[in-house]
Chains A and B, each alone.
Chain A
């Protein structure tokens, strides 16, 4: 009986932990750097996910994202910014540049081709 209680409590604890870690924990945000040319730039490494995966940019200023894909895993071979109608192949071990100008404030999700890997672009 004791084993059952331990297993139940332990399992429930893991469920809570899993959901907190993956869904509700706060992520670090990164502010894109404003270069002289009037373009906000930030480098993102793609390896099992996007680092950084929460990027803050300013409204109305062109954004230039450098995606360096540091793996060959199939999952990350495409990046999609659905709200900006961008879908681009990310060649492995290469930097791919994505440019656009966010005109509206808000949070925009970017994902891999299948929507499994996600990042967030916060426009302020």
Chain B
């Protein structure tokens, strides 16, 4: 072991991240940062090495973990060590602030805060200070400690003393930072440090007091109880409806004995009808009274108000007509009763609610599905042991193992092993994706073939899935501008309908035919009942919910109703070239051999020469050689000639690799290749000359190739009538060559990155509605400037922040799908709004009897209630049609 003189950490010589030779002695460092610091002023650190170093290190996780001293080795038996995960550190100076504050606490022997692993390691004297004080100190510094909170249901808590007993037991358990037991809910809320203790140990601590912890899967929390209540409500509603329907039908048949003469006379009796209709009105229909009264107290009026006033009017009139038949007798005609009207209206509205509840439940299916994807447990390796823990307990930088067929619990990077992963649930991509060390994996996707170990990079609410859920939830909560008018109207709707109904009553009463009171009453009820603000209110949100949910299922994340609405009006789509239309990684496309060399030889020498280079073109050569399973030499000498190419020495032969200028400078004859090089350049490719031992060997063409999906997507967008533009920093020739292949006519080339925004603005000032498609990170300003910014191929929060639509998959067909989806959603919204407006504006006057003077048509209130129930159900059902939209070809 050696000591890092800069940060004071113990470093294993074999695993040290860096070392320096100074005055004949070798010094080891935990990270290159420390080495740089040391090299700048070695004397300072050598002198200070007597005193305890107190600087921050950036050590990579492995060297850090392995090199941490065991407490007993260095600090004696009494010292204890604790690791605290820290949240919210954004820079190295944050780490040093926390470290400084922790070091100054009494009882702390040494504190080490590692920015790279987001962990604080503290050695302390337990008799002087408690772990809680560290948390307080860290919080005071402005950061959060990565504690985990769980709620555990406990069986058999009966008294306040039990509560205290459990709380005390928990607080005395190391690693528990907070424990509150609630007697009423019989639950313990425990906040703990997952680095110190796990859920099982907490359960054991509780159970040691004699109480049993009930099984709980934390992910179900918040979802299940709600569902249970909903289902209970639904069942209750169904029972009410069935009972109401039976009673209502008898009342209806009894009231219509002139149509159904076989009905016993007793059911025609007004008192019997009254007795049958009353439970429907006040028991089955009680929920409407309750709702209306609640609203009334708040000086607002809703559907319930209309139903209650309408049915009560019919009911009370009928009661009066039953008890005082002479009161309403006009011209010798005995007054009729309308118990069937009031009862059937209530039953039909219940039916509407029933259907609506079921349909509405389906509109949020997509988000429920996403939430259900969250895995519950993870198998991590801690202290060399594999253990199953709750997914909430997984920490950043934990090593997680995954077997075939298992769900990947959190986001991370593969460290060991290979496999294919089904990512369809997140990206919509149906073919499993191959993964090897270095590949990123997404939580909630399913491992198919092999086992692997990966390092967690994002956990909890930072995982791609959690971000997606949050985004979809936000989107579903957002409003589309198209809804504004409906919103304004629904606020005034009910009072206005009541006013119209009363006016209807007055007009019929004053000017209507005899019996005018009956006509006035029936039309009053019909107006009240037919009006349906629900349809108006449901028109947009249900469609936005289903539309955004449908998108999420296909890897298309739409930010909200507004994005949805703008997207359907687009007329221009601007694609960034590199990484969007193209793969973003250059590939070897052509090899031209001359002077008796073979193509394989050329690639072999070129790739070998570039073996130690990090230039993107070098990567293309090496990748191509690897694909062809060509074994590479080790270059004996390697020298990069800035702006021209490289020279290397392999097996004593001098190799030159580079542009025409390099060859000319070295007097290599390339005349026979120049026209071919010109052709390559015309085609948008970069020509690289190669010479071996002073002889021209050939020419290699390297180019950033188009994605397979680009041509198809561009073609489809053009077919949809959109103007497609390509934006790139490349020179005109290369740009045009690529654009031609992609089928794009409009090219904006040689655009500097900072000018992309300007180009978008120019298009917009020409009256165009522009979507910009880019990778979301480099193009963020242009994405923000465009009417719709579409970020592709990433689920990072930066990209989601800057864009209106995020396509998780890198495939450009998502752009087409997103626009199609927005068009379809807006079409559904328009249909819904049209229906809702048309329904109310046509329905209310008809119910008021406007057709009567011309055609003698009046609307029976029962039909009015049927229409009402149908109208809101139809709107929701129409929105649900979006679920069946086909987005993939």
**Could you tell me which A residues sit within 8 Å of B by CB distance?**
4, 7-8, 11-12, 14-15, 18-19, 21-23, 25, 27, 47-51, 53, 71-75, 80-82, 85-89, 91-92, 94, 109, 111, 113-118
Would you call A85 and B299 a contact (CB within 8 A)?
no
Q: How far is the CB of A79 from chain B (nearest CB, A)?
A: 9
CA distance A88 to B474 in the complex (A): 9
Q: How far is the CB of A19 from chain B (nearest CB, A)?
A: 5
Q: How far is the CB of A75 from chain B (nearest CB, A)?
A: 7
**Cross-interface CB contact of A71 among B294, B536, B537, cutoff 8 Å:** B294
Q: Does B303 touch A at the CB level, under 8 Å?
A: yes
Would you call A87 and B477 a contact (CB within 8 A)?
yes
CA distance A72 to B225 in the complex (A): 13
Stretch among B126-134, B244-252, B504-512 lining the A interface? B504-512
Closest 7 CB pairs of A and B: A48-B294, A87-B477, A49-B298, A114-B537, A22-B495, A116-B302, A11-B506
Known interface pairs A18-B495, A49-B298, A115-B487; A73-B290 also in contact (CB < 8 Å): yes
Residues of B483-509 whose CB lies within 8 A of A? 486-487, 490-492, 494-496, 498-499, 502-503, 505-506, 509
Would you call B506 and A73 a contact (CB within 8 A)?
no
Q: Does B399 touch A at the CB level, under 8 Å?
A: no
**Cross-interface CB contact of A117 among B290, B300, B538, B541, cutoff 8 Å:** B300
Complex: chain A residue closest to B287, CB-CB? A73
Would you call A87 and B473 a contact (CB within 8 A)?
yes
Q: Does B560 touch A at the CB level, under 8 Å?
A: yes
Per-residue contact bits, chain B 256-294, to A (CB 8 Å; 1 contact, 0 not) = 000000000000000000000000000000010011111
Would you call A88 and B487 a contact (CB within 8 A)?
no
Q: Find the residue from B292, B476, B477, B486 having the highest chain A CB count within 10 A.
A: B477
Q: Does B388 touch A at the CB level, under 8 Å?
A: no
CA distance A82 to B229 in the complex (A): 26
Would you call A22 and B301 a contact (CB within 8 A)?
yes
Would you call A82 and B300 a contact (CB within 8 A)?
no
Q: Does B722 touch A at the CB level, under 8 Å?
A: no
Q: How far is the CB of A23 from chain B (nearest CB, A)?
A: 6
Please give, as numbers and ranges, the residues of chain A lying within 8 Å of B495 by CB-CB distance.
18-19, 22-23
Would you call A48 and B490 a contact (CB within 8 A)?
no
Q: Does B295 touch A at the CB level, under 8 Å?
A: yes
CA distance A12 to B353 in the complex (A): 33
Please give, as numbers and ranges, the residues of chain B lying within 8 Å of A27 by CB-CB distance.
299
Q: How far is the CB of B365 from chain A (nearest CB, A)?
A: 14
Would you call B294 and A49 a contact (CB within 8 A)?
yes
Q: How far is the CB of A38 from chain B (nearest CB, A)?
A: 14
Q: How far is the CB of B69 from chain A (nearest CB, A)?
A: 39
Would you call A118 and B474 a contact (CB within 8 A)?
no
Known interface pairs A72-B233, A82-B478, A116-B303; A53-B298 also in contact (CB < 8 Å): yes
CA distance A82 to B488 in the complex (A): 13
Would you call B509 and A75 a contact (CB within 8 A)?
no
Known interface pairs A80-B477, A87-B473; A50-B302 also in contact (CB < 8 Å): no
Q: Does B534 touch A at the CB level, under 8 Å?
A: yes
Complex: chain A residue closest to B535, CB-CB? A114
Q: Does B297 touch A at the CB level, under 8 Å?
A: yes
**Could you tell me which B residues sit within 8 Å of A by CB distance?**
225-226, 229, 233, 287, 290-304, 353, 356-357, 473-474, 476-479, 486-487, 490-492, 494-496, 498-499, 502-503, 505-506, 509-510, 533-534, 536-538, 541, 560
Q: How far is the CB of B286 from chain A (nearest CB, A)?
A: 11
Complex: chain B residue closest to A90, CB-CB? B226
Would you call A91 and B487 a contact (CB within 8 A)?
no
Would you call B487 and A15 a contact (CB within 8 A)?
no
Complex: chain A residue closest to B474, CB-CB? A85
**Cross-interface CB contact of A15 among B233, B474, B477, B499, cutoff 8 Å:** B499
Complex: chain B residue closest to A88, CB-CB? B477
Q: Find the residue from A50, A81, A113, A115 having the highest chain B CB count within 10 A.
A: A115
Would you call B498 and A85 a contact (CB within 8 A)?
no
Please give, as numbers and ranges, the residues of chain A lying within 8 Å of B502 by CB-CB distance.
11, 14-15, 18
Would you call B533 and A116 a contact (CB within 8 A)?
yes
Would you call B510 and A48 a contact (CB within 8 A)?
no
Known interface pairs A4-B510, A15-B499, A89-B226; A115-B476 also in contact (CB < 8 Å): no
Majority DSSP secondary structure for residues of B touching A: helix
Would you call A75 and B301 a contact (CB within 8 A)?
no
Known pairs A21-B299, A114-B541; list 15 more (Cβ under 8 Å). Answer: A4-B509, A7-B506, A19-B499, A22-B300, A22-B301, A23-B492, A48-B292, A49-B300, A73-B287, A82-B487, A87-B476, A111-B487, A114-B538, A116-B300, A116-B534
Please give, as numbers and ranges, the residues of chain A lying within 8 Å of B505 by CB-CB distance.
7, 11
24 A-B pairs with CB atoms under 8 Å apart are A4-B509, A7-B509, A14-B502, A15-B503, A18-B495, A21-B299, A25-B299, A48-B295, A53-B298, A72-B229, A73-B287, A73-B291, A74-B353, A87-B474, A109-B491, A113-B541, A114-B490, A114-B533, A114-B538, A115-B486, A116-B302, A117-B295, A117-B298, A117-B302
Majority DSSP secondary structure for residues of A touching B: mixed
Please give, as numbers and ranges, the residues of chain A lying within 8 Å of B293 by CB-CB distance.
48
Please give, as numbers and ranges, the residues of chain A lying within 8 Å of B304 by CB-CB distance.
48, 75
Please give, as numbers and ranges, the residues of chain A lying within 8 Å of B303 by CB-CB distance.
75, 116
CA distance A74 to B234 in the complex (A): 10
CA distance A86 to B502 in the complex (A): 38
Please give, as numbers and ranges, the residues of chain B lying within 8 Å of A49 by CB-CB distance.
294-295, 297-298, 300
Q: How far is the CB of B389 from chain A (nearest CB, A)?
A: 28
**Cross-interface CB contact of B498 among A18, A48, A51, cutoff 8 Å:** A18
CA distance A57 to B314 in the complex (A): 45
Q: How far is the CB of A5 from chain B (nearest CB, A)?
A: 9
Q: Find the residue from A14, A50, A73, A111 having the highest chain B CB count within 10 A.
A: A73
Would you call A116 and B537 a contact (CB within 8 A)?
yes
Q: How far is the CB of A53 from chain B (nearest CB, A)?
A: 5
Complex: chain A residue closest to B288, CB-CB? A73
Q: Find the residue from A8, A27, A74, A92 having the highest chain B CB count within 10 A.
A: A74
CA distance A111 to B540 in the complex (A): 14
CA distance A25 to B767 in the complex (A): 46
Please give, as numbers and ranges, the residues of chain A lying within 8 Å of B287 by CB-CB distance.
73
CA distance A99 to B726 in the complex (A): 42
Would you call A51 and B298 a contact (CB within 8 A)?
yes
Q: How far is the CB of B876 from chain A (nearest CB, A)?
A: 11
Complex: chain B residue closest to A19, CB-CB? B495
**Cross-interface CB contact of B291 among A15, A75, A92, cutoff 8 Å:** A75
**Cross-interface CB contact of B506 among A12, A89, A117, cutoff 8 Å:** A12
CA distance A115 to B492 in the complex (A): 11
Q: How far is the CB of A50 from chain B (nearest CB, A)?
A: 7
CA distance A21 to B296 in the complex (A): 9
Q: How far is the CB of B326 from chain A (nearest CB, A)?
A: 16
Complex: chain B residue closest to A50, CB-CB? B298
Complex: chain A residue closest to B302, CB-CB? A116
Please give, as numbers and ranges, the residues of chain A lying within 8 Å of B478 by CB-CB distance.
82, 85, 87
Complex: chain A residue closest to B479, CB-CB? A82
CA distance A73 to B574 in the complex (A): 48
Would you call A91 and B229 a contact (CB within 8 A)?
yes
CA distance A1 to B533 in the complex (A): 36
Q: Find the residue from B298, B476, B505, B510 having the highest chain A CB count within 10 A.
A: B298
Please give, as numbers and ranges, the residues of chain A lying within 8 Å of B510 by CB-CB distance.
4, 7-8
Known interface pairs A22-B494, A48-B293, A91-B226; A75-B302 also in contact (CB < 8 Å): yes
Please give, as numbers and ranges, the residues of chain B lying within 8 Å of A114 by CB-CB distance.
490, 533-534, 537-538, 541
Would you call B290 and A48 a contact (CB within 8 A)?
yes
Known interface pairs A15-B499, A22-B495, A87-B473; A47-B294 also in contact (CB < 8 Å): yes
CA distance A109 to B490 in the complex (A): 13
Please give, as numbers and ranges, the residues of chain B lying within 8 Å of A50 by CB-CB distance.
298
Q: How far is the CB of B519 from chain A (nearest CB, A)?
A: 13
Q: How far is the CB of A17 from chain B (nearest CB, A)?
A: 10
Please give, as numbers and ranges, the residues of chain A lying within 8 Å of B538 by CB-CB distance.
114
CA distance A75 to B537 in the complex (A): 11
Complex: chain A residue closest to B504, CB-CB? A11
CA distance A35 to B476 in the complex (A): 31
Please give, as numbers and ranges, the residues of chain A lying within 8 Å of B537 by CB-CB distance.
113-116
CA distance A7 to B508 in the complex (A): 11
